Structure 1
Amino acid sequence: MGTILVSVIIPFFKYRKWLEEAIISALGQTHKNIEVIVVNDGSPENINDLKIKYLGRVHFYEKKNGGAASARNYGLSIAEGQYIAFLDSDDTFSLDKIERQLRYMLKTGVSWSQHSYYKRYDCGKKILVDTSRYSGDVYRSTFTSFRVQTSTVMVVREVLIRDRVRFPENFKNGQDGEFYKALAAKNPLGYVPNAYSDFRIRGTNVGFNPEVLLKNKSQIWEELEKTDHYPREVDVSIRLCHLLGHKAYCVHTYIVKNFAFLRPYRKILAFLLYLSPFISLKIVNKFDAKQ
């Protein structure tokens, strides 16, 4: 197992101090045969000191700003590992994460896997997010409620090449969800017991922005509209939920554009409009969990 190379891809745009924490957690792995790739996605921050400090241990690459999806795809294009692990620049791995996950994948033969993780707050508080329910055929779950976090995922690089799976760069946010859909369509997901990473929670996490969430639901609907033949997992209930999200996004866009006095309340409005698709998907997910 020690001869297997694992590439760790870290996209970076801001928060240099957190980037170094991520790098340290990757370099400190008990599985030593790793390739750490940092893709600087046009960051305004100077990280030349980190390049010097970790010279020969971390591969730094520069590109024009294009978003997290393009940065991860850039990393995938140059990675040489047989396995790929993703690490967001404000997250950290536990020191045995890659060893545990790689051992599990070799034993079970799965093409991709994930594990539980901790939400980590700046005050020091940590909350466990148990993702043990997500294993096997998770394709339908990727359309309803899929709480798998990017820094928990490891995948066989050859599978990404074979199935032509990349992060969709037309999605400004929620690219990881589309990446999971593409993988889950053909490959069962493995679950590695226990939690092996920390997911940093901060006020600017885009995943908690209702306007971003609404737009993402609209984009998913637009992608669904491009096909005439839906997989059996994507039934009427799921399509209806995302249609509600699309309509809510259209209403939000119209109101913000045409009613200037409501613009200061755009996030509150987005939150209220998002409740309909959010609750609908929760109901579908709850029903699925009972099956």
Structure 2
Amino acid sequence: MSNSKPETASVAKHMPLSQQPLVSVVIPAYNAERFVLEALRSVLDQHYEPLEILLVDDGSQDQTVALVEREVPGVRIIRQQNAGAAAARNTGLREARGDLICLLDADDGWFPGKLAAQVEHLRQHPEVGLVFHEWLVWRPERDGHYAAPERAAAQPPGLDLTCSGWIYPRLLLDCIVHTSTVMLRREVVEEIGYFETELVNGEDYNYWLRVSRKYEIHKLAAVYSYYREVAGSLTKLAKPKPENYEYRVVSEAIARWGLASPDGQSISGRDAAKRLGKLAFDYGVGHFFAGSSGLAAKAFRATLRHDPLKLKAVIFLVAIMLRIRRT
């Protein structure tokens, strides 16, 4: 069952923010004992008040909760049975008391100044429902440990105009919003609803698309967070998912809302087809090398429906036929 509501563009300005609005930070955590304290310290290092931190423990089997209770006693801990990241975020959104809400994954972190910059931007731009910012990828050293994350001392001011405004068409081409960069108004959650828990992956992408149908979204050009790349997590040899969730998210968005944003900006049908073709192709490649010939062939056929000139999809289909004949 969908958590979304009927979409119409929201053009009314939001209620003005107080000088120091309460900010709620929602951190879903599952077996996060290795990294969660670093994430929490990055929140406390914002030196912003008033601040509410909610750690939603999604049925951890390790010492995540005990560690946070001992080391950061001011955190509000909410426990639930393991239900996935989307359900944990939804629990946090329901429990959050702030006028503004931030999301932070338990293995990511923020640079100082993030909260102040986003609060000020939303205060100055009442037409904006969600503001995010640039981030960097934090990779481990060869021995597996993480050196302290670093960003350039001089950060660009203002907005990244290529990713700000009514960005629905831009989002169709790429999920340009990272969860740990987001600050949104409480009324956005009240209007849009919650993350789709039936999506194993892509629930965040789905949510940003839904927000972009009703609200302007702005991106600050400065780097204010870091995404931790866990060793081996992005390897192409990782077992692919049984469903192409990103393809599903984009294709369902196009079927529901088309290619144009509420202000009339649009991508071309050709660009949309190439986007869907690429999503199908990448999914097929993953299953091909995992040995799932049936799912791979289905994905490559979908690629050719969207992008008939994609020669590599034909080559993979031939390779699948040869593989089947040899077995």
TM-score bin (small chain)? 0.7 to 0.9
1:157 paired to 2:174 = no
Q: Rate the CA distance shift 1:205–1:35 in 2: closer, same or farther, 3 A.
A: farther
**Matching of residue 64 in structure 1 with residue 81 in structure 2:** yes
Alignment pair present for 1:19 and 2:36:
yes
Determine the C-alpha separation between the residues in 2 that align with 1:172 and 1:69.
8
Give aligned pairs, total: 265
Is the 2:135–2:181 contact (alpha carbons within 8 Å) kept by the matching residues of 1? yes
SS in 2 for 1:140: helix
The structure number with the bigger radius of gyration is 2
> What is the rounded CA distance, in whole Å, between the counterparts of 1:45 and 1:2 in structure 2?
40
Identify, as 1 or 2, the structure richer in helix: 1
CA distance in 2, matches of 1:264, 1:116: 33
Poorly superposed stretches of 4+, deviation over 6 Å:
249-253
**Aligned residues: percent identity?**
23
Structure 1 alignment gaps of length 5 or more: 257-261, 282-291
Aligned CA distance change for structure 1 residues 14 and 49 (closer, same or farther; 3 Å):
closer
**Structure 1 residues 207 and 104, CA gap change in structure 2 (3 angstroms):** farther
1:116 aligns with 2:137: no
What one-letter code is carried by the residue in structure 2 that aligns with 1:19?
Answer: V
Question: Does the 8 Å CA contact 2:166/2:217 hold for their aligned counterparts?
Answer: yes
Residue 172 of structure 1 and its aligned partner are, at CA, apart by 0.7
RMSD of the alignment, in Å?
3.5
The equivalent of 1:236 in structure 2 is: 269
Distance in 2 (CA, whole Å) between partners of 1:160 and 1:38 is 18
Query: Contact between 1:206 and 1:212, CA under 8 Å: does it hold in 2?
Result: no
1:185-264 to 2 correspondence within 5 Å? Answer: 185-205=213-233, 211-212=240-241, 215-220=244-249, 223-224=252-253, 227=256, 230=258, 232=260, 233=266, 236-237=269-270, 239-241=272-274, 244=277, 264=290
Question: Corresponding residue for 2:204?
Answer: 176
- Specify which of 46, 64, 69 is matched with residue 63 of structure 2: 46
Counterparts of 1:215 and 1:68, CA distance in 2:
18
1:118–1:197 contact (8 Å) kept in structure 2: yes
Are the aligned partners of 1:105 and 1:190 in contact in 2 as well (CA < 8 Å)? Answer: no
Indicate the larger mover: 103-112 or 45-54: 45-54
Relative to structure 1, is the Cα distance of residues 221 and 144 closer, same or farther in structure 2, using a 3 angstrom cutoff? closer
2:177 corresponds to which residue? 148
Q: 2:54 aligns with which of 23, 37, 48?
A: 37
Unpaired segments ≥5 residues, structure 2: 1-17, 142-146, 261-265, 308-327
Q: Output the TM-score relative to the length of structure 1.
A: 0.77
Q: C-alpha displacement at 1:174, in angstroms?
A: 1.5
Task: Give the letter aligned to residue 150 of structure 1.
Answer: T
Aligned to 2:22: 5
Which residue is equivalent to 1:87? Answer: 104
CA distance in 2, matches of 1:16, 1:41: 13
Letter in 2 for 1:92: G
In the alignment, residue 249 of structure 2 is paired with which amino acid? Answer: I
Q: Deviations over 1:188-246 (max 9, x none)?
A: 1122231111111123546976834971234225635864x635347533553465367
SS of the aligned residue for 1:182 comes to helix
